[in-house]
Chain A
């Protein structure tokens, strides 16, 4: 049973560019959340998608946007990249009514 898969695993972008990260949730999970983890810090909640809509959002600017597709997979888009956006981006999925999240291994984004 495949868990949460994220692509790509590593990415290098230039300041000002745009980036799209992808996530496929664990089979049977329909809720997807995204987190940003800076080096040496705990993950910070970006937003959560359920039924193709943004259900909850953390304290992140509008440069961070997302999408959920009918097959429950999700994308995280970041526009106008800043050096401070360099981080590990984690995707987590869960069934609708469940209290545990399954995380992927993340995408490490480096902005230069």
Chain B
């Protein structure tokens, strides 16, 4: 079984500061994918970044980067130069398969989320 743990229920950060959101995971799969999603109050889950278990480089997407430490089973999200619009719930998730294993990815297992509030 897969498990995602997010230990920060809520965070307050000053605008323009960098933010690190913690995520640890547990799985017996050798091949898996790790995701971060943002959920504003509207409810829609917005895909931010993806890391495959065999990817050697940490993933980056604009202001988002994923600090992947496989041995520690952690996949922390780093947001550089935070903005007021970054205020939202953030979820870490994992899938048991990655695209190149064929057949698409399995359903996602989500953590409980971190409520990030950016203060001016």
A contact residues vs B (CB 8 Å cutoff)? 31, 33, 35, 40-45, 47-48, 50, 56, 58, 88, 90, 92, 94-106, 108
- The listed residue (A40, A92, A96, A97) touching B45 by CB distance below 8 A is A92
- Give A34 Cβ to nearest chain B Cβ, in Å: 9
Given the complex of chains A and B, what is the CA–CA distance between A18 and B35 in angstroms? Answer: 33
Interface residues of B in 63-113 (CB under 8 A from A): 91, 93, 95, 98-100, 102-113
Q: Check B108–A98 contact: CB distance below 8 A.
A: no
Known contacts A97-B99, A98-B99: A48-B45 contact under CB 8 Å: no
Q: Check A45–B107 contact: CB distance below 8 A.
A: yes
- The listed residue (B44, B104, B111) touching A98 by CB distance below 8 A is B104
Q: Report the number of A-B residue pairs with Cβ-Cβ less than 8 Å.
A: 78
Given the complex of chains A and B, what is the CA–CA distance between A90 and B102 in angstroms? Answer: 24
B contact residues vs A (CB 8 Å cutoff)? 4, 33, 35, 37, 42-47, 50, 52, 91, 93, 95, 98-100, 102-113
- The listed residue (B4, B35, B111, B113) touching A100 by CB distance below 8 A is B35
Q: Check A42–B105 contact: CB distance below 8 A.
A: no
- Give B87 Cβ to nearest chain A Cβ, in Å: 17
Task: Collect the chain B residues with CB atoms within 8 Å of residue A40's CB.
Answer: 112
- Give B68 Cβ to nearest chain A Cβ, in Å: 14
